Amino acid sequence: MTLQITSAFDSGNIIVESINGDSASLRIAKDHQSDFYQWFHFRVTCEPGTTLKLAITDLADSAYPGGWQNYDAAVTEDRMEWLRAPSSWDKDAGTLTIQWECESGSAWFAYFAPYSYERHQNLVADAASCEGVTYRQLGTTGDGRPVDCLEMGEGEKQVWLYARQHPGESMAEWWMEGALAKLTDPADPHARLLRQKCRIHVVPNMNPDGSVRGHLRTNGKGVNLNREWHEPSEERSPEILCVRNAMDESGVDFAMDVHGDEAIAAVFLAGFEGIENWTDELGDKFYRYQDLLSQRTPDFQKELGYPKSKPGTANLTISTNQIAQRFGAVSMTLEMPFKDNQFLPDKQRGWSPERCIRLADDCLAVLAEMIDEI
């Protein structure tokens, strides 16, 4: 039986160059009308017990070549538990080679454990059915999908949590699953406090078109949504236009934008240094959030992260900066790794959906702890 390889499903992405015995040579398709590529997701079927050798080639020009160093691909055979398949990076050739002994005869490989559109719909339906939760469709994407928002809480402070502007960063929606589970739990004390003091707006997937199409970084029109916040348009970025309009209606006191980072093997936050409206008082609230989160969970750290922008040089096309500047909000970007937390590694699973869910719990507990300061 020869290998069969397909990506003809939700968020699938692979091009098969050749198959030779137990080995295959593969490539990743670019995002539609864009040069970004890094997300892959495909199924292999084979004789049970085959040791697969899958070479993903042509990666020197991928979006983040540094993402392949010390990276192991995500794999599942039972479609429940995602493990890591030992992978080796040949930088000179630009090739990632994944090795996996496929016991059952079917295995799914992905850049990170996928968060399917079916699961997204279940997430929205489950949350919307909880007491005190209101569902709102904020707008419609270019491909005709709803931009879903869940709202809850009776307080004055406006909290916005939104994720997956970059659709290949599926860890962001696993985080959202943890966040919504906590926020809708009537027995959870942090959630009770937050719902008492805040109105919470949750957009679990900002970019459903890119997610379904198997994109890394853009929507169905090939637009990087996190470079549109200064001037979103119906033509290019209806997802951002409708969310920013809803934010203009409600105002924003606290915002978290949830992402994944290809290269850095750690969880970190990025703030809004460099905005014109920067004040130390506002900035200190962000730093205090960061301090409290690093004290609360060993899965979060402050040493590794992005360089801070110099005064007056913040990029206002990026949501975190735009929201801090526009609303005077405590605004931040949460980054989780595709690789692992290098300070607390898990060889078998790497950074995993389960760890995203736990992290969301800690992030909201810290928000509850300092909500009176925001």
C-beta closer to Zn ion: residue 120 or 259: 259
C-beta closer to Zn ion: residue 153 or 167: 167
Give the footprint of Zn ion on residues 253-312 (CB under 5 A): 259
| Catalytic, out of 231, 303, 335, 354 | 335
CA nearest 197: which of 155, 164, 233, 235? 155
Q: Which stretch binds Zn ion (CB under 5 A): 26-34, 41-49, 136-144, 168-176?
A: 168-176
Task: Supply the minimum distance, in Å, between the C-beta of residue 162 and Zn ion.
Answer: 12
C-beta closer to Zn ion: residue 75 or 336: 336
Annotation marks residue 335 as catalytic: yes
Q: Which stretch binds Zn ion (CB under 5 A): 106-114, 138-146, 161-169, 322-330?
A: 161-169
C-beta closer to Zn ion: residue 170 or 294: 170
Give the N- to C-terminal CA distance of the chain in Å, as an integer. Answer: 61
Task: Supply the minimum distance, in Å, between the C-beta of residue 164 and Zn ion.
Answer: 8
Task: Supply the minimum distance, in Å, between the C-beta of residue 338 and Zn ion.
Answer: 11
C-beta closer to Zn ion: residue 158 or 319: 319
304-343: string of b/e by CB count within 10 Å (b at 16+)?
ebeeebeeeebebbbbbbbbbbbbebbbbbbbbbbbbbee
Give the total of residues touching Zn ion (CB under 5 A): 3
Q: How many CB atoms lie within 10 A of CB 121?
A: 13
Task: Supply the minimum distance, in Å, between the C-beta of residue 259 and Zn ion.
Answer: 3
Task: Supply the minimum distance, in Å, between the C-beta of residue 19 and Zn ion.
Answer: 33
Token digits of residue 249? 């209606």
Contact characters 244-263, Zn ion, x per CB under 5 A: ---------------x----
Task: Supply the minimum distance, in Å, between the C-beta of residue 156 and Zn ion.
Answer: 30
C-beta closer to Zn ion: residue 117 or 306: 306
Cα 270 from Cα 50, distance rounded (Å) = 43
Under the binding rule (CB under 5 A), the answer on residue 164 touching Zn ion is no
Sequence-separated (6 or more) residues with CB below 8 Å from residue 226: 165, 166, 257, 317, 318, 319
Out of 164, 166, 215, 236, the only residue in the binding site for Zn ion (CB under 5 A) is: 166
Task: Provide the binding-site residues for Zn ion, judged by CB under 5 A.
Answer: 166, 169, 259
The catalytic residue positions are: 335
